[in-house]
């Protein structure tokens, strides 16, 4: 019961703030609403007992990405500036597409009976996560870990090269 | 049934969030707000991974690691996209998609 109340609060926060992120005309406010959405999502992860994932969500998403976005907003637009939205017909067409898509997806979800597993949950402690992340045997995720590290290196070099001033 | 909340509720939540993100992606005119819509979409997919992991396969951590990887990729994507956006702003003095229609500067 308590969980249900918490879930309803968190999902209400997520839905309201993600709608406001998409609909508000002030870009900086929209970034702050995005921050609230990400915080509420971290709350959902806490509810599901994935503490480490919730911490990663808080530090990387809410701490890193939102700050990056706010920086770039401040660099590229005035605070008082109102964002331009699409025309009325485009809004209506997008809303129709989105409602149709959501309807089809929700119908598919409801027509499939998910059977929750009865097995005991493995603990998602720091130790087991760290062991699995660098393990290459069963239940090991060393390969994706290495791929992500190479991707991060490539992105760092790419971002520096893209954003640096051209030497004339 | 985990902690009294059916699996479907989480899926409804993430579906709605995903399509709100798509709505923003289709109607926004500013590159940064488009990027924020993409973050919403990635976040809803993360919720799906985590919930499937917790409800259907609690004996392993596959969905957990997938969503950690998605978070890492989202950070990488945001960094590179913001580098590109700032470069576009330097060349065009604007980041509205309608005004950025030349490959050369």
ipTM associated with this complex? 0.91
pLDDT tens track for A32-54: 999 999 999 999 999 988 999 99
Of A42-46, A54-58, A136-140, B23-27, the one with minimum mean pLDDT is A136-140
Every domain of chain A and the residues it spans: 1-82, 85-113, 123-168
- Burial of B55: CB neighbours in 10 Å, binned 0-12, 13-18, 19+: buried
pLDDT bucket at B104, cuts 50 / 70 / 90 = low
Contact A139 B19 (CB under 8 A): no
Distance from A86 to chain B by nearest Cα, in Å?
Answer: 5
Which residue from A minimizes the CA distance to B57? A117
Which of A20, A22, A25 to probe by mutation at the B interface, max B CB count within 10 Å?
A: A22
- Chain B residues with CB under 8 Å of A41 CB are 43, 46-47
What is the residue-averaged pLDDT of chain B?
A: 88
What is the residue-averaged pLDDT of chain A?
A: 88
Question: Taking 90 as the threshold, does the pLDDT of residue B87 lie above it?
Answer: no
Nearest to A124 among B1, B61, B82 (CB): B61
Q: Residue B73: which residues within 8 A CB-CB, separation 6 or more?
A: A148, A151, B42
Contact B26 A86 (CB under 8 A): yes
From residue A160, give the alpha-carbon distance in Å to each of A89, A164, B14, B81, B97.
40, 6, 34, 12, 23
Nearest Cα residue to B78 out of A155, A38, A160: A155
Pairwise CA distance, residues A136 & A142, whole Å? 5
Contact B17 A65 (CB under 8 A): no
Sole residue written with tokens 């700032």: B86
Of A111-115, A163-167, B50-54, B78-82, the one with minimum mean pLDDT is A163-167
Is it true that domain B7-92 has CATH number 1.10.287.3510? Answer: yes
Verdict on whether the full-model pTM lies above 0.95: no
Question: Taking 90 as the threshold, does the pLDDT of residue A97 lie above it?
Answer: yes
What does the angle CA A11 – CA A14 – CA A18 come to, to the nearest 5 degrees?
A: 145
Every domain of chain B and the residues it spans: 7-92
pLDDT tens track for A11-30: 999 999 999 999 988 889 99
Query: Is some CB atom of chain A closer than 8 A to the CB atom of B100?
Result: no
Q: What is the predicted pLDDT for the residue at B1?
A: 45
Contact B28 A48 (CB under 8 A): no
Which of B17, B18, B20, B74 to probe by mutation at the A interface, max A CB count within 10 Å?
A: B20
For A115, the 3-state DSSP assignment is coil
Contact A38 B12 (CB under 8 A): no
Is it true that domain A1-82 has CATH number 1.20.120.1200? Answer: yes
Question: Taking 60 as the threshold, does the pLDDT of residue B105 lie above it?
Answer: no
Question: Taking 60 as the threshold, does the pLDDT of residue B82 lie above it?
Answer: yes
């Amino acid at each position: 019961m308590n969980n249900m109340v918490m879930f309803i609060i968190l999902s209400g926060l997520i839905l309201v703030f993600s709608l406001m992120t998409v609909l508000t005309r002030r870009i900086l406010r929209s970034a702050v609403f995005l921050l609230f959405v990400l915080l509420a999502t971290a709350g959902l992860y806490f509810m599901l007992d994935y503490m480490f994932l919730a911490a990663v969500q808080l530090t990387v998403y809410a701490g890193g990405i939102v700050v990056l976005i706010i920086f770039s907003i401040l660099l590229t637009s005035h605070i008082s500036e109102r964002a331009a939205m699409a025309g009325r017909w485009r809004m209506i067409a997008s809303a129709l597409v989105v409602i149709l898509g959501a309807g089809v997806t929700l119908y598919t979800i409801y027509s499939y009976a998910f059977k929750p597993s009865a097995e005991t949950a493995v603990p998602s402690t720091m130790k087991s996560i760290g062991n699995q992340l660098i393990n290459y045997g069963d239940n090991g995720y060393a390969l994706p870990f290495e791929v992500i590290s190479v991707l991060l290196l490539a992105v760092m070099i790419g971002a520096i090269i893209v954003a640096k001033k051209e030497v004339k | 049934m985990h902690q009294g909340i059916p699996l479907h509720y989480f899926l409804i939540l993430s579906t709605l969030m995903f399509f709100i993100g798509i709505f923003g992606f289709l109607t926004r005119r500013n590159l940064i707000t488009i990027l924020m819509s993409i973050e919403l979409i990635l976040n809803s997919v993360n919720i799906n991974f985590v919930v499937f992991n917790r409800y259907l396969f609690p004996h392993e951590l596959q969905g957990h690691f997938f969503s950690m990887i998605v978070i890492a990729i989202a950070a990488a994507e945001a960094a590179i996209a913001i580098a590109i956006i700032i470069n576009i702003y330097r060349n065009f003095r604007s980041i509205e998609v309608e005004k950025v229609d030349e490959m050369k500067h």
